[in-house]
Structure 1
Amino acid sequence: MGYGVPDSGVDFCYVTVYEAHQLMKNDKAVFVDSRDDDDFKTTRIQTSFHLSANSLIMKAGGAEKGLVQQLVDLVNSGKTLVCLSDACVKGNINRGHVSRCRHIAQYLVEMGADRGRIVRMTGGINAWKKAQLDGILGDLRPMYAGAIQAADFEPPKEGREEEEGDEVRPLRGEARALGNGGYAAVAPELAPGLQVEIQGLVSRADLNGKQAKIKEFVASSERWEVELLDETQERVRCKATCLKASGSTPPAAPAAPLEEFVEVGCGGTPGDGGARDTCKVRFVPPRPFSQDRPTAYRALKTDLYKKSTKESDKIIKVTRPVGSTVRTTGELFVGGAGGVWAELDVMAGEKKGCSERGLST
C-alpha cells in the first residue's frame, strides 16, 4: 500500500461534503487533512488536524505520536473522523493507487482507532469549495497535484472522485439557510423578535412603511411571518427582501430558532455484509462562502471565556472538552481590552454570546 501502512483491502464509508459540514456544525466530527505541508498551508478547511500521508515515511520518526494518539482518543470517544485530501479519489479509479486520505484512515486504524467511526469525504476539499460551504482558510480556488487550479478545474478522468451513478446532493429538505452552498438563501440579519419595516410589497402596498416584528421563518414558503405593530396586529408573510431592520434591538431572550433535523452518514463498515451508519443531527444553515472567515474553532483547553453580548463587560468562564468544536457566525470584533471575540452561532446550538481565547481554527 505504501506509506509504511499495510493495505487491509477494505475501503472506508464515504460522506458527502454536505454531510461533513453538518457533522462539523453539530460538533460530531474531527477532520484530518492528509495532504502535504505546503498544500495545507495554502488552503484548508477550518478545524482540520494535519496528518500528512508523506510524513509517515518522509520524516524521521514518522507522524507526531502525540497528535496520532489525540486523534485515536477522539475517535474512540464517539467522534466521527473525516479524512480528506484534494479530491479523495477512490482507489479503483485512481490508476490502481490508493488516495492519501485512505492511507491516513488505515494508519489510524492500525494505531487503534475504531474503523467504524472513520469516513472519507467524497470529492475532498475541492468538492467543499465547489459547494461553496463556509470555513475555507486560505485560497478559495481548487488545488490538485500540489498546484492551484482555475476555478472551473475538473480533475482528469482517471482521478474523478465519483463513480458512475454517484450523485452528491445538498441536504435541502424543508430546512432554512443563511448562506449559499446549495441551500436556499435567507438574509442572515433577520431573526425572530427583530423589529422591521415592510417595503416593496406589490399586492399589499398598503403595508409598505409599516413597522412589524418578526415571529418566525416559514420554510415551506421561504418567507418570514411578521406581526404588524399597530392595533390590527395582522400577521403577513414577506420575502426577506421586503423587510428592512429598523434598528430596534430584539428581545433579550428571543424565541429559539425552529429546530430541523437531517440524517447524515457518520461511519460504518463497507463491503459484503457491511452498512453505512447514519445519525440524526440538527440542520445548521451554512454561512456565506468567504475566504479566511472561520465559522468553527477547536477548543485547545477546557477553560474558555465568553460574554453574553458585545457590549457586556462581564466575562464568564465556561468549560468545553479539548478538541470540541465551537460554532460561530464568522463575525469578529475587538473588545475594550483589545481581545478578539467571535460571535457564537445560536443556529448551531451555541448559547448566545461571544467567545475568546483557547481556540484554534
Structure 2
Amino acid sequence: MRGATRQVSRKINRQFLLLLGRGRPGLPFVAMGYGVPDSGVDFAYVSVQEAYLLMKNDKAVFVDSRDEDDYKTSRLQTSFHLPANALIMKGSSVEKSLVQHLIDLVNSGKTLICLSDACIKGNVNRGHVSRCRHIAQYLVELGADRSLIVRMAGGINAWKRAQLDGILGELRPMYAGEIQNWDFAPPKLKEEESEDEALPEISPAKGAGGGYVAALSEEAALAVGQQIEISGLKTRAELNGKAAIVKDFVADSGRWEIELLDETKERLRCKPESLLLKSAKQETPKAVEPAEVEVGCGGVVTENCERITCKVRWVPSRPFRQDQPTAYRVLKSDLFKKPNVSGDKIIKISRPVSSTVRTTGELFVGASGGIWAELDVTAGEKKGWIYVKGPGFGASSCKVTSEYLQA
C-alpha cells in the first residue's frame, strides 16, 4: 500500500515539474498570465442555474481558482480552493493530495465546475487567461477527463446576481480583490466582445445589495413586465418563438433582460429588435415547476459547441441570505442522522467523501453542543437532521470537536 502511494506521489511530482517547468511533452510552452502552460484548450460553459441544479443533485464538484484572500472574503458553499496564482508563484504550497482527489472525482463521473469572480472569456489574450480556465487546463494536463470539466458562466458574481442560496461571506460582486457595486461588469478586450444575441450573464436583482435599479431608455418601446416573443436570434435559434417576460433594461449594452416563461426560467439579454410585443390581453401563464429538467454537465469545445447534458431533479432556490449554508460537502463517510430534533434516536448512515448533503439552512444545537442541519426533502434527501460538527458521541469524545460536513 505504501509503495503504491509513493508511486502515485512520484507520478504527480513529475507532472507538477512538467507543468511548472517546460510544459507538456510535445506541446510548445506558452506562458499564461499565472504561469501555467497554455495547452490552448478551452472548456464548455454551464449557466449558474445549471450549476445550482447540479449541486442540488449531487452531480458536481466546485473548484474556486481565486486567491486565498478572495476566497476567505466570499465563496460558494461546498467549493474546494485551488488558487491559480499558487501554481507558479508558490508551487510548493499546492496540495498534491487535493489535486489528485479532484482528478479522481472527475474520472469517477462527477462534473467539475471551475469558477472565478467573473469567468472572463480568456481565450483571446493568452497573457491574461481567466483563473478558472487555468485550473481547468491544469487538471486536464494531469489526467482529468476534459469532457467533464466546465466553467461557470459569469463566475461567482453571476451566482450572486441571480440571488441563489449558498454564498458564504460577502454577497456583493468582487473583482481583482475588491468589492464592487451591483452594476459592475468586468472589463473586456475589444476582441472578446461577444456578438451573440443572447448572453448567459445574469443581471443584478432590483434592490439587492444597495438598491441598484437599471435606468430605462426613454425611447424604448418595451417596458418591464410586458410579455414578449423572441424572434430572429441566430446563435440561439432554438429560442425563437418562445414567450418571455421583460425584466430589466441594461443601458450599457442597449439590451433588454428577459426571463423565459418555460420551466427553465432562463434569463437572457437580447437586442430590442429580437423581441416582439405580445398582446396586452394575453395572460401570463402560471409558472409550473417541472419534476425534471435537462442541464449542461460537460462537453468539448468544438465548432459545433458539443455539450453533454443530463436530466436532474428540479430544486427551487431558497432565500438569498449571507452565511446560511444549504449544502455541505461530506468529510467523513460515516454520518449521523436524527429523524427529529425532539427524539433521542440517532441513525448511522454512509455517504461517499466529497458527496453533497442538501439542507434547508435551518440548524439545531443539541444538548452536548453538536450542530445539526435539517435535510432538504425537496432536493431528494429523506426527512431528518444531519450532524454537521460537534463533540461526537460517547464518553471519550466530550472534549473533542469533530467536523463531519463542511460548507
TM-score by length of 2: 0.66
Partner of 2:324 in structure 1? 293
Q: 2:68 aligns with which of 24, 33, 37?
A: 37
Alpha-carbon distance change, 160 to 331 in structure 1, aligned in 2, over 3 angstroms: farther
Query: Contact conserved, 1:86 with 1:144, CA < 8 A, in 2?
Result: yes
Partner of 1:359 in structure 2? 405
Cα distance, 1:269 vs structure 2: 0.7
SS of the aligned residue for 1:91 comes to: coil
Alpha-carbon distance change, 307 to 162 in structure 1, aligned in 2, over 3 angstroms: farther
Residue 151 of structure 2 corresponds to residue 141 of structure 1: no
TM-score by length of 1: 0.74
1:94-113 equivalent positions in 2, closer than 5 A: 97-113=128-144
Q: 2:163 aligns with which of 116, 125, 132?
A: 132
Q: Deviations over 1:256-288 (max 9, x none)?
A: xx9711111111111246611000100111111
Distance 1:346 1:80 in 2: 23
- RMSD over aligned Cα atoms: 2.5
Superposition misfits of 4+ residues, deviation over 3 angstroms: 92-96, 157-162, 169-176, 220-223
Partner of 2:255 in structure 1? none
Distance 2:130 2:188 in 1: 15
Cα distance, 1:326 vs structure 2: 0.2
Cα distance, 1:173 vs structure 2: 3.3
1:51-70 equivalent positions in 2, closer than 5 A: 51-70=82-101
**Gap runs ≥5 in structure 2:** 1-30, 203-258, 268-284, 389-403
What amino acid sits opposite 1:106 in the alignment?
Answer: Q
Query: Contact conserved, 2:44 with 2:305, CA < 8 A, in 1?
Result: no
Partner of 1:335 in structure 2? 366
1:5-44 equivalent positions in 2, closer than 5 A: 5-44=36-75
Partner of 1:49 in structure 2? 80
1:272-283 equivalent positions in 2, closer than 5 A: 272=303, 275-283=306-314
SS of the aligned residue for 1:276 comes to: strand
Cα distance, 1:163 vs structure 2: 2.6
Distance 1:81 1:41 in 2: 21
Residue 199 of structure 2 corresponds to residue 167 of structure 1: yes
Distance 1:164 1:113 in 2: 32
Cα distance, 1:311 vs structure 2: 1.3
Alpha-carbon distance change, 325 to 161 in structure 1, aligned in 2, over 3 angstroms: farther
Alpha-carbon distance change, 66 to 132 in structure 1, aligned in 2, over 3 angstroms: same
Distance 1:221 1:118 in 2: 36
Determine which structure has greater relative contact order: mean sequence separation of CA pairs < 8 Å that are 6+ residues apart, divided by chain length: 1
Alpha-carbon distance change, 271 to 175 in structure 1, aligned in 2, over 3 angstroms: closer
SS of the aligned residue for 2:189 comes to: helix
What amino acid sits opposite 2:341 in the alignment?
Answer: K
Identity of aligned residues (%): 68
Cα distance, 1:153 vs structure 2: 1.9
Alpha-carbon distance change, 294 to 112 in structure 1, aligned in 2, over 3 angstroms: same
Count the aligned residue pairs: 286
Cα distance, 1:7 vs structure 2: 1.6
Partner of 2:277 in structure 1? none
Partner of 1:202 in structure 2? none
1:219-234 equivalent positions in 2, closer than 5 A: 221=286
Partner of 1:74 in structure 2? 105
Q: 2:380 aligns with which of 342, 349, 354?
A: 349
Query: Contact conserved, 1:94 with 1:159, CA < 8 A, in 2?
Result: no
Partner of 1:249 in structure 2? none
SS of the aligned residue for 2:92 comes to: coil
Q: 1:266 aligns with which of 297, 301, 308?
A: 297
Distance 1:331 1:97 in 2: 41
